[in-house]
Amino acid sequence: MNYSEIVSSVAALFFSFILISAASAAPVCVNATGESIVLRGDLPSAKIEAVNRAKFAAVEQVAGVDVKSRTVVEDSALLDDIITTRTRGVVTGYRIVKEAQIGDTAKVVVNVCVEPVNAREAMSSLSLNTAISVYLPARKLTRSGKQEYDDENFLSQSIIGKLAEQGYSVRDLAESHALKLKDIDAALKGGDQTSVRSLAYRYLANSILIGKVEPVASAVKGSDAGYGISMPFNAVTARLTYRLMAKDSSGKMVVLSAGNEEAKGLAPNQEDAYAEALKNLSEVFLPVIVDKIHSRLDEISGKVLVKIIGVKDPAETFALRDQLQKISWVTKVEEKGLDELWVSFSENPIYLANGLSQKGFRITAYSREAITVQRRQ
């Protein structure tokens, strides 16, 4: 190949790369619906709010999230503020397709163009630290040797149940069929984590526990155990290989814990021996993984200054401190002044504001470092 041919080939590759990059960054346009209550006959304001909600619904749709923001942020005014800030730089254009007023509700259908990469980043900022996705399939014992896996085995269900019992939002990935064994194998080997990262975005969970269990039949009932003795039971060992991963501040998946655990089960038949092995494995593994998750929350727990408008005496401050202490995932409340409290919180501060709203406070100002509230009359 001569010099001019080499230059031509390089140029062709370069322009192909630019075209591919441009295509992957191209906005995606979707139709989304938004609604808003018309207050005091102010239809224009309700229409603007409905359009904003349609924009946010479009961002969720393009980002591919399955857990809608309204299921985790209950306060409407707070969510509207999030909608406004999160859609900047994400929505590249929009067009109202249809609008109507039905009773006291303004409803719009909007065609919204969204930049996919920014959409995923915007939704990622709403991810829950206390949400964890779990997928731990166990290979079945089959006489044919066929590679069949049980997605809803005793180990997986025990871990999901224990975490849910302790207040975590657990997403069982077995129900979604979104993760394949090849994705697990790639992640366990430290290779391609694209599928794992996309599932973290999809379920608004900052952590994901993945792995798989392999059974090993170590002894068969009736086999020679030595000294003329036959094995009275079947023995099966369940071996788990796992990784607990979480998103760091840049959105990259990092490994919090990885390793292997195993346990043995004995029973008259192999199926029961394997079931016993999975039960024993859950008893070994549960304390390990729960401790790792708790340690993670302790590490990322931060302080948020909560200012309460209208506090007049120390007795009110003490009562408010007790009230804030009861919000989920608040670990500590300290007084800074008569109307200011330092709140140690394991979650995204958005959800502290949401918790305050549920306790009867109205949010008047919000940032990740400070929240100002007023008690509702």
Q: pLDDT of 111-141, one tens digit each?
A: 999 988 888 777 777 788 888 989 899 998 8
Query: Which among 54, 77, 170, 70 is positioned nearest to 126, based on CA atoms?
Result: 70
CA dist 217 and 221 (Å) reads 11
Summarize pLDDT for 280-317 with one digit per residue, the tens. Answer: 999 999 999 989 988 888 888 889 999 999 888 889 89
For residue 190, the model assigns a pLDDT of 67
Topology of domain 128-299 in CATH is Rossmann fold (3.40.50)
* Strand duo 169-172 + 234-247: pairing: unpaired
CATH code 3.30.70.100 for 302-375: yes
Instruction: State residue 16's pLDDT score.
Output: 41
Domain coordinates in residue numbering, the chain:
25-124, 128-299, 302-375
Q: Which residues of the chain have pLDDT under 50?
A: 1-24
Q: How remote is the C-alpha of 9 from its chain's centroid?
A: 44
**Cα angle, residue 42 at apex, residues 36 and 43 outer, rounded to 5°:** 55
Length of the chain: 377
pLDDT at 99: 94
Contacts for 196 with CB less than 8 Å, ≥ 6 apart: 179, 183, 187, 208, 210, 245, 253
| Number of other residues whose CB lies within 10 A of the CB of residue 362 | 16
Q: Is the dihedral of CA 195, 201, 203, 204 positive or negative?
A: positive
| Residue 327 DSSP class | S
Cα–Cα distance measured from residue 89 to residue 57, given in angstroms and rounded to the nearest whole number? 15
Average pLDDT in the chain: 81
Residue-level pLDDT at 29: 95
* CATH class name, domain 25-124: alpha beta
pLDDT confidence of residue 95: 94
- Give the tens place of pLDDT for each residue, 166-177: 888 888 888 776
- The pLDDT value recorded for residue 221 is 60
